[in-house]
Amino acid sequence: MFKLPKAKQYNYIPVYYNEQKEKQETAQQENSTSYEQRIKGSFRHKKKLRNQTEVVKSNIRLLIIIIALTALALYFLYF
């Protein structure tokens, strides 16, 4: 007369945990990210140095042009 409910079944499969493998994977992952960051940092540093040298060269060139134009202007004014 009465239909009783069946017990629930769970399909749980236990996972094997290997602590050494876990440590090795995290260490490898940390090394790869630090390596990538180091490479990116070196490129940024080189780019920054290149920009600084370009600014210095530009300032020197501007100073030479100003000196040359003043010398030319003084030459035409007094001679």
Model confidence at 75, in pLDDT bands (50, 70, 90)?
Answer: very high
Give the domain ranges of the chain: 39-79
- Residue 28, CA distances (Å) to 21, 76, 79 in order: 10, 72, 76
Rounded CA-CA distance 16/26 in Å is: 17
Could you read off the pLDDT of 23-69 as tens digits, one per residue? Answer: 988 888 877 767 777 777 777 778 888 888 899 999 999 999 999 99
Nearest Cα to Cα of residue 53 among 11, 17, 45 = 45
Residue 72 confidence (pLDDT): 96
Q: What's the CA dihedral at 25, 26, 29, 31 to 10 degrees?
A: -110
Q: Is the pLDDT assigned to residue 79 strictly greater than 90?
A: no
Higher pLDDT, 61 or 3: 61
